[in-house]
Structure 1
Amino acid sequence: MEDSWRREFIKGLIGAFSLPFFSIKEAFASKGSVLIKLPPLPLQETHIVGKEKGGRVLIVGGIHGNEPGAYKAADILRHVKVKRGELFIAPRMNFVSILANQRGYNGDMNRKFSNLSPKDPDYDKVVWLKNFIEEVKPDIVLTLHDGFGFHSLNPRFWGQCIVIDGEVYKGIELGKIARYVSKNVNKEISNRKWKIPVYNTRTFDKDTKHPEQRKSLTYYCLKNLNIPAICLETSKQMPNLETKVVFHLKMLKEFFDLYNVTIEPDFRYLISNVQKLLYPQNFYSATVCVNGRIIEISSSRKLKVPPRSTVQVIRFNGTDGTNGIFNGVNKNYREFSIRRKLSIDVKDDFKKKFNISIVVG
């Protein structure tokens, strides 16, 4: 009896897997489901050119989604004018992880710049950034992060430091560049633990304690493109988001001076007005189309829709960080079919603004 039951069970499985493949929409349409669509998450990129010639700096933020000091500082710089030089900014490289407020919803993106399967959910983003850097060929790539602890108090901690992969690599004097910035920033820091030292991971050395860094963005830029790349870390243990952003801006100021890039308003203004820049008054809403009818939603709301409906979010309105993710299902999905209910969190980066609950009935 047991063997017979097992054979029947296996036959059933084989039969199930031999059925023709249907899309989510097709698989549920006959059962009276509701199709819900979200707009794709954008790969944000800003290029600002000054009237005067100068250096060319690329800033990358948001590789880790739970490091808001990094991507918020990058985002602020998207709205300045460049007087001298060129500025390239990719503020939210890992948008799904930012909305989920996780380091890496699909795994650590900063360990994906070596070999990566095309099946990886981050594959398109990583390839896009690699191609973008190769095309742009900036004078330096600065990748922003918020690390744990204070490196000045414990050399094992990554918070509050400038990270380089080596002292010198193929004539690129990473140590000299990083110490110039460290020295100038530290002149204005009285709190010892907030000081910003240089952390050399010696990634290229055989006996490095950080071989995992050979999969990072900075290592990729140096080894594959021969482009200087340095990581700027503030501390997750800073008292608030404003302080993290301020320290990122302080470090960036020194890099801009070194590479002959000037902006307007200048860094002094940005640093003095961080709170206003981080928390502007915004109206948040979602423009939703339900079976051809447009609805504007600006607060938590339940939508009851009949079976076989289509609910499409046309756009999210607010800041550049305003977008939505599904609750209770894979957050990479931008299209999903339901037979009962599903909700969408509308967020400004990591902060939830309101919720849209969709109920079939």
Structure 2
Amino acid sequence: MENPGRRELVKGLIFSVPLLAALKSEALASPGRGALIELPPFPFQETHLQGERKGGRILVVGGIHGNEPGAYTAAEILRTVKVKRGELFIAPRSNFVSILADKRGYNGDMNRKFGPLSKKDPDYKRVQDLKEFIGNVKPDILLTLHDGYGFHSVNPRAWGQCIVIDAEEHNGFPLGKEARAVSKAVNRSIHKREWRIPVYNTRTFAADTKHPEQRRSLTYYCLTKPKVPAICLEVSKQLPNLETKVKFHLMMLKEFFKLHGVEIEPSFDYLIANVERLVNPKRTYTVDLLINGRHVSVSSSRTFKVPKGSRVKFLSFHGSDGTNAVSFDVNLNLRRVAIRRRIAFTVKDDFRKVFSVRFEVV
């Protein structure tokens, strides 16, 4: 399989030399020859919300694919609610580097890495963090959110707008029965045929399945290892806008929450009615830096000219939990780079570009 991360590193070196020399932290150039720039590790974000009344326990996972903003935005919105009954666990950005890159998988498809995986894989820690979270939580059900291509109701080979199950039943859990109940409830309010949400059974456990690749997916892992029921919710990439994608995710989540006895405040009906405002909140963005021991706060595009031997640290990001910085001049997995002349970092809020911070060695 092609490794996009390696491709990006090679591309960065080709187009930035001699302007930029980026080295791994284990082989840094002498600070006297340029400048050293460090960023904090990508965080694994997790949230636990518990209600006062007993109910079910649901885990929602978003962001396994970085170019599916409907999925991780819906998961992020759930982090703002209060749980009245039951427990809610959320991992909104399980593949943060791919979200910032706005790519399906910056290091390859992370949803094919839940089988055997080399410790050298750039996504290894992200996969392990998510596996550990699932194992610690042991929810009644895991719901993984995705934005797929096309409309399954008019093209059975398309993954958009459907509820995906690996089997009709597994370990006594009625995946098909539950998925169809949600499908039926959601479709009552969907009038466009292509936007309706059917159930797609990939029959992953069957010897003659057409989707053996799903045996390396998150849902299959959940069903076979920690024995957690898992279902995939897909909306279509071809829906008209982000607000509509998030709305359909919330509509499906609403019905699953009903089935498992989890109640939130404000209600799903409120979230759906106010989805445009929730997707586009007004925010102020700042980045705190440490440049040669001096604290600097940046809130718009800026260029810093630093002397040779400088050390720069990105300390923190403010705006949303999706705010972070990457440099497209180098491999995005690197969080410590040495430069000879210059480098540009893009501050992003998930897939949105906010401003840039540039450094030039003088």
The interval holding the TM-score normalised by the smaller chain is: over 0.9
The aligned counterpart of 1:51 is: 52
Alignment check: 8 A CA contact 1:327 1:342 kept = no
Alignment check: 8 A CA contact 2:222 2:228 kept = yes
User: Residue type matched to 1:324 in 2?
Assistant: A
The aligned counterpart of 1:129 is: 130
Gaps of 5+ in 1: 1-21
Alignment check: 8 A CA contact 1:25 1:337 kept = no
Q: For the residues of structure 2 that align with 1:226 and 1:255, how far apart are their CA atoms?
A: 19
| Closer/same/farther in 2, CA of residues 24 and 168 from structure 1, 3 Å limit | closer
The aligned counterpart of 1:13 is: none
The aligned counterpart of 2:152 is: 151
Q: For the residues of structure 2 that align with 1:48 and 1:227, how far apart are their CA atoms?
A: 19
User: Residue type matched to 1:142 in 2?
Assistant: L
Q: For the residues of structure 1 that align with 2:314 and 2:51, how far apart are their CA atoms?
A: 37
Deviation per CA, 1:144-179, whole angstroms, max 9, x where unpaired? 000000000100000000000011112211100000
For residue 179 of structure 1, give the secondary structure of its aligned residue in structure 2.
Answer: helix
The aligned counterpart of 2:108 is: 107
Q: For the residues of structure 1 that align with 2:175 and 2:44, how far apart are their CA atoms?
A: 29
Deviation per CA, 1:17-43, whole angstroms, max 9, x where unpaired? xxxxx9748642265210001111110
The aligned counterpart of 1:290 is: 291
User: Residue type matched to 2:253 in 1?
Assistant: L
| Closer/same/farther in 2, CA of residues 52 and 309 from structure 1, 3 Å limit | same
The aligned counterpart of 1:118 is: 119
Alignment of 1:210-359 (within 5 A): 210-359=211-360
| Closer/same/farther in 2, CA of residues 138 and 25 from structure 1, 3 Å limit | closer
Quote how far apart the aligned CAs of 1:327 are.
2.1
Deviation per CA, 1:169-211, whole angstroms, max 9, x where unpaired? 1221110000000000000000100000000000000000000
Deviation per CA, 1:261-308, whole angstroms, max 9, x where unpaired? 000000011001111111111111111111011111111111100000
Quote how far apart the aligned CAs of 1:130 are.
1.1
Pick which of 117-126 and 86-95 moved more. 117-126
The aligned counterpart of 1:33 is: 34
The aligned counterpart of 2:10 is: none
Gaps of 5+ in 2: 1-22
Alignment check: 8 A CA contact 1:25 1:35 kept = no
User: Residue type matched to 2:298 in 1?
Assistant: I
Deviation per CA, 1:81-111, whole angstroms, max 9, x where unpaired? 0000000000000000000000000000000
Q: For the residues of structure 1 that align with 2:358 and 2:131, how far apart are their CA atoms?
A: 38
For residue 40 of structure 2, give the secondary structure of its aligned residue in structure 1.
Answer: coil
For residue 239 of structure 2, give the secondary structure of its aligned residue in structure 1.
Answer: coil
The aligned counterpart of 1:18 is: none
Q: For the residues of structure 1 that align with 2:116 and 2:266, how far apart are their CA atoms?
A: 41
User: Residue type matched to 2:299 in 1?
Assistant: S
Alignment of 1:177-188 (within 5 A): 177-188=178-189
For residue 117 of structure 2, give the secondary structure of its aligned residue in structure 1.
Answer: coil
For residue 331 of structure 2, give the secondary structure of its aligned residue in structure 1.
Answer: coil
The aligned counterpart of 2:9 is: none
Identity %: 63
Quote how far apart the aligned CAs of 1:131 are.
1.7
Alignment check: 8 A CA contact 2:24 2:337 kept = no
The aligned counterpart of 2:66 is: 65
User: Residue type matched to 1:302 in 2?
Assistant: T
- TM-score, structure 2 normalization: 0.92
Q: For the residues of structure 2 that align with 1:77 and 1:46, how far apart are their CA atoms?
A: 10
Number of aligned residue pairs: 340
Pick which of 144-153 and 325-334 moved more. 325-334
| Closer/same/farther in 2, CA of residues 27 and 224 from structure 1, 3 Å limit | closer
Q: For the residues of structure 2 that align with 1:61 and 1:241, how far apart are their CA atoms?
A: 15
Alignment check: 8 A CA contact 2:160 2:236 kept = yes
The aligned counterpart of 1:19 is: none
Pick which of 275-284 and 241-250 moved more. 275-284
User: Residue type matched to 2:92 in 1?
Assistant: P
User: Residue type matched to 2:244 in 1?
Assistant: T
Q: For the residues of structure 1 that align with 2:26 and 2:222, how far apart are their CA atoms?
A: 41
For residue 29 of structure 2, give the secondary structure of its aligned residue in structure 1.
Answer: helix
For residue 28 of structure 1, give the secondary structure of its aligned residue in structure 2.
Answer: coil
Q: Which runs of 4+ in 1 moved over 2 A?
A: 22-27
User: Residue type matched to 1:212 in 2?
Assistant: E
| Closer/same/farther in 2, CA of residues 30 and 40 from structure 1, 3 Å limit | closer
Alignment check: 8 A CA contact 1:69 1:146 kept = yes
